[in-house]
Amino acid sequence: MLRRLTVWIASLTIGMLVMAMVLASAAHAQATTPAADREVSVDGGRAPLYGALLSPPGARPGPAVLLIAGSGPTDRDGNSAAPSVKPANLKLIAQGLAAAGVTSLRYDKRGLGKSAPAMLQEADLRFTTYVDDAAAFARFLKAQPQVTCVVILGHSEGALIAALAAQKVATCGVIEVSGIGRPLGVVLREQLAAGPMPASLREQSNAALTELEHGRPVANIPGLEAFFRPSVQPYLISQLTLDPTQALAAVKAPVLILQGDNDLQVQVEDAQRLHAARPDARLVILPGVNHILKEAPRDRAGNIATYADPDRPLAPGVMPAILAFVRSAAH
């Protein structure tokens, strides 16, 4: 009888040890399994808008991050239709968040990638269309299991979209990355002045911008038909009348302003203007970092060369600044 009891106890101990090993192995596998994108969608009117939800295995309750791409034909990963602009910076941010246990959602803008069928007629498109789309994805993200609140991160033009979307939905933080701090008309005039455009044509374009800023359509300008075509003017009017500093000042949530000092598209002055509009915001200037958040030289050729390299990692200071802000949003 005693022998049987001893054998039973021994077998029970071995069974418990095996079970403990199985549980430990499962926990290790869960911890080391990389997070995978899950395709999701929201109502886009004409067609769905698609995005990638990246949630780490075993994610605990906490804030999640909505990532918004910049201007032009830029997809959910931060890559452009142009073959020389494939930085994958938004994808890298999403992966950095997942590695730290934070869920994120990035999406193809209306008219791009899988969201291409949702594009409106050009004459019907407004800047607020993109703001409404971002707000829809923010609501979707907030409804996900384990998500307690949403931080909205916008890159470049997406920074302005983030600030405006934050006025439409509940958010626990806004991160403006490489965002301009001046109205678009001011920036466009600077870009036109820096280009090889003839003086007479520059004067016409400046005058046209002034009219559009006041909400008045203009006649097309020979030589600039692509820029001032009638069908795009309603969209230009809707954006030219916006001031990024006013938009950020109206955000009620905490704010992080992230800017590289080797950015050739947006200046440190822009970040400082945004900070002046929200003095309580965190302002982080990253040394030696360019517009796409990669380490890059100041010279134009070397700087732009980094845009074509999706395998080039984010600059070392990027993720620590973002993660510190996101974690603070949990409190």
In the chain, CATH 3.40.50.1820 sits at: 34-182+243-329
* 89-117 exposure pattern, b = at least 16 Cβ within 10 A, e = fewer: bbbbbbbbbbeebbbbbbbbbbbbbbbee
Structure tokens at 138: 């923010």
What pLDDT, on a 0 to 100 scale, did the predictor assign at position 33? 57
Bridge-based pairing state of the strands 173-177 and 104-107: unpaired
Quick: pLDDT tens for 54-93.
Answer: 999 888 999 999 999 999 899 999 999 888 999 999 999 9
What pLDDT, on a 0 to 100 scale, did the predictor assign at position 25? 42
* Cβ 107 vs Cβ 49: under 8 Å: yes
What pLDDT, on a 0 to 100 scale, did the predictor assign at position 300? 94
Structure tokens at 270: 């822009």
What pLDDT, on a 0 to 100 scale, did the predictor assign at position 106? 98
The model's pTM: 0.88
What's the rounded Cα separation, in Å, for the pair 251 and 273? 15
Structure tokens at 113: 């990638």
What pLDDT, on a 0 to 100 scale, did the predictor assign at position 226? 83
What pLDDT, on a 0 to 100 scale, did the predictor assign at position 181? 97
What pLDDT, on a 0 to 100 scale, did the predictor assign at position 291? 97
CA angle 196/87/260 to nearest 5° reads 70
What pLDDT, on a 0 to 100 scale, did the predictor assign at position 31? 45
User: Which residues in the chain come in under a pLDDT of 70?
Assistant: 1-34
Cα four-point dihedral sign 182, 184, 188, 189:
negative
Q: What is the CATH number of domain 34-182+243-329?
A: 3.40.50.1820
